[in-house]
Amino acid sequence: MFWSNTLVEKLNIRYPVIQAPMFGVSTPEMTASASKVGCLGTLALADLSAEQSVELIKATKELADQPFAVNIFTHNIPPITDSIRQKYIKTKNFIEELAAENNLEVSLPDLEDLKVNTYHEQIDAIIEEGCKILSFTFGNLDDNSIQKLKENGITLIGTCTSVEEALILEKSGIDIICVQGIEAGGHRGTFDGDRIPQIGGLSLLSQVFDHVKVPLIYAGGIYNGRTLSAANELGAKGFQVGSILLASQESALQSFEKERLKKVKEDEILLTRSFSGRYARGIRNRFIEALENSDYILPYPYQNKLTGILRKTAKLNGNVEFVNIWLGQSVHPYSEASTMDILKRLILDVEKIS
């Protein structure tokens, strides 16, 4: 059978199809729906507090009776320097003025009011809640966290965007590596948030396959049977999909955002640091055009926290020019069916051509 492999056995799932985390889009309902069809649902915890993480995990447990993964950000937090303080004030003022010019009245937080979390406080919560699969992005876990998680029987899935990153993950004992192609929507999993490895996803997958021995998941541009089969041919044992679920019933996107998806053109999709301070692929809009290549982009997570209220306000006002709609390069019809039905169709499509 096409689906029978070591990853299916390791993760205790029927199909090695993984629902991408997509923080801000995925929901406990999406995670549960993916798991119910025999795929691996993923609950995005990003850089939430331990308390918020527990709340989401419990909500997902109530809906899902099959295994699901949780996903966290393993970023470094830059120290607050005088330079960052000054730049924060300038950026805050610029964004508030830009919003006002576009009929959005927002009062953004001062730097001292930001609540910035590290992943370390999430680790104990994940263990205490009995989660058995943890994926992560933006870097690697520290050695102590890896040891603690493994002692509690948790399977670890790291994200790489280069061969170098894959080798680091394997050497540190990570069980499975997700190879994120440059085609993928959302944030790049790159260890260094200031750069982007300029290698196409399928080329990267083939090279990582030649250099590491752990099972590989591929993420980037998968939206039908042909694209999934291509990743399989190049060595992937698992297949992570995100963009095909953006307009699903369980997606947290609002109706006006789903309407924007239907009209998107390939030249409107780009990588930008404007919303979060880290490179992410999404749909170009007025906010991105105003900040891209400007001096008003702070390092992650400060930019991400600063723009949070703006994005929430824009969402409440149905303003597509000031929300981030993360999206991969493979433009296709974005189904509004349930996550379960979308994944079932993908599985059937693969089986027809395999």
The per-residue pLDDT for range 32-90, each reduced to its tens digit, is 999 999 999 999 999 999 999 999 999 999 999 999 999 999 999 999 999 999 999 99
Residue 176 or residue 4, greater confidence: 176
Q: What is the pLDDT of residues 183-195, one digit of tens each?
A: 999 999 999 988 8
| Architecture (CATH level 2) of domain 1-77+117-249+334-354 | Alpha-Beta Barrel (3.20)
The strand ranges marked E within the chain are 17-19, 41-46, 68-73, 133-137, 155-160, 176-180, 186-187, 216-219, 238-241, 269-272, 280-283
Position 2 pLDDT exceeds 90: no
Tell me how far apart the terminal alpha carbons of the chain are, to the nearest angstrom.
9
Position 298 pLDDT exceeds 70: yes
Residue 349's pLDDT band (cuts 50, 70, 90): very high
DSSP secondary-structure letter at 321? G
Average pLDDT over residues 317-328: 98
- Is the full-model pTM beyond 0.95? yes
DSSP secondary-structure letter at 277? S
CATH 3.20.20.70 in the chain, residue ranges: 1-77+117-249+334-354
For residues 143 and 19, give the distance between their C-alpha atoms in angstroms, rounded to a whole number. Answer: 27
Using alpha carbons, select from 102, 35, 101 the residue that is nearest to residue 62: 35
Position 96 pLDDT exceeds 70: yes
What is the pLDDT at residue 195?
A: 85
How distant is the alpha carbon of residue 63 from its chain centre?
21
Average pLDDT over residues 233-253: 98
For residues 312 and 319, give the distance between their C-alpha atoms in angstroms, rounded to a whole number. Answer: 10
Beta-carbon contacts of 7 under 8 Å, excluding residues fewer than 6 positions away, are 16, 176, 215, 217, 237, 238
Work out the mean pLDDT of the chain and round it to a whole number: 97
The string of DSSP letters for 78-113 reads ----HHHHHHHHHHHHHHHHHHHHTT----PPPGGG
Position 1 pLDDT exceeds 60: no
For residues 272 and 184, give the distance between their C-alpha atoms in angstroms, rounded to a whole number. Answer: 13
